[in-house]
Structure 1
Amino acid sequence: MNWMLKSFSQLTTDELYAVLALRNQVFICEQQCAYQDLDGVDQDTLHLFAKGDDNQQIIAYARLLPQGIAFKEASIGRVIVAQNRRGSGIAHQLIKEAIATTCRQFNTNKIKIMAQAYLVSFYQSHGFVIDSEIYLEDNIPHIDMVLEQTA
């Protein structure tokens, strides 16, 4: 799988549209969560994604946030795999790539995330540990998790 990493200004118009369409499909339509996805943070983050065989559809995506935006630590958010690609292992590839890229790009060994509670075991399988009680974010149960890489 060919991963692409771009800043907001490096995204083409078509890539930006595809990212926002995928986020809308998953977070708003599938999860039936009416929330403001365009939160003013995209311009200050890195966008990690892979395209499908047609080189048009984005099939996996994560937003990488430097320290001081979501938390004092670097963070990974908006983690998505397109519905037609789920169950193929792409999510595991995506989070591994997101972790490695976040650590490298932001010169850190610590990442904090706001995970949807039903995904705790997925993130634990990649080394994240629970760092909060469950809380509601946009009416969806979330929990903070932290990963600290050792040298």
Structure 2
Amino acid sequence: MNQADRFKLEIKQTSSLTALELLEIMQARVAVFVVEQDCPYQEIDAKDEAAWHVILKEEDKMVAYARIVGHDDGVSISFGRVLVVKPYRQMHLGRTIVMAALTEIEERFPEKTVKIAAQEYLRKFYETFGFKAQSEVYLEDGIPHLDMILEK
């Protein structure tokens, strides 16, 4: 069985998620971004209310995730909270979920520039998608980040 047959992609707005899907997303995000990265911050925020959730599943279990939200500049679009659950890491699913998010952005928001706040250690990863650094490295919640942009 190849990966295309093994995994199923779902993209839903927050209001379309079931309670169990929302719970699974929030548990995974807190596990990765708060617990694993030892970074206490308000992981669930107001952006979740209008977000598009990009979910890669194996059967009914989420294995990778990203969310698409409006950028803080009010003009651009952004994605973030990109994660792959632990047992599925090293399978290149991070690349799969980012490609799915970018495809969804292109379909839903074709006129918008994509801007992200990337963790600095992932700079080269995002550069492979065409992103370019737009800032120096800065600390966000104690983790080195940089702003990156994908222009049309």
Please report the TM-score for the alignment, with normalisation by the length of structure 1: 0.91
Match of 2:144 in 1: 141
Structure 2: stretches of 5+ with no match in the other structure: 1-6
For residues 126-151 of structure 1, what are the alpha-carbon distances to aligned partners after superposition, in whole Å with 9 as ceiling and x for unaligned? 111101111111110000001123xx
Residue 129 (structure 2) pairs with residue 123 (structure 1): no
Counterparts of 1:70 and 1:58, CA distance in 2: 27
Match 1:110 to one of 97, 109, 113:
113
Moved over 6 A (4+): none
Quick check: 1:18–1:58 contact (8 Å CA) kept in 2?
Answer: yes
In the alignment, structure 1 residue 88 sits paired with structure 2 residue 97: no
- Unpaired runs of at least 5, structure 1: none
Give RMSD over aligned pairs: 1.2
Identity of aligned residues (%): 37
| CA shift for structure 1 position 108 | 2.7
Which whole-Å deviations, capped at 9, do the CAs of 1:23-82 have from their partners, x for residues lacking one? 0110011000000012111011111101223x1x3111111013xx42331001111111
Aligned length: 145
- Matched residues in 2 for 1:37 and 1:103: separation? 26
Contact kept in structure 1, 2:34 and 2:40, CA below 8 Å: yes
Tell me the CA shift for residue 109 of structure 1.
5.0
44, 49, 55: which one aligns with 2:50: 44
1:60 counterpart letter in structure 2: A
What residue is the counterpart of 2:72 in the other structure? 70
2:3: which partner in 1?
none
Counterpart position of 1:60: 64
Following TM superposition, by how much is the alpha carbon of 1:107 offset from its aligned partner in structure 2, in angstroms?
2.7
Contact between 2:138 and 2:145, CA under 8 Å: does it hold in 1? Answer: yes
SS in 1 for 2:53: strand
User: Aligned residue for 1:10?
Assistant: 16
- Does the 8 Å contact 2:8/2:58 carry over to 1? no
* 1:132 equivalent in structure 2: 135
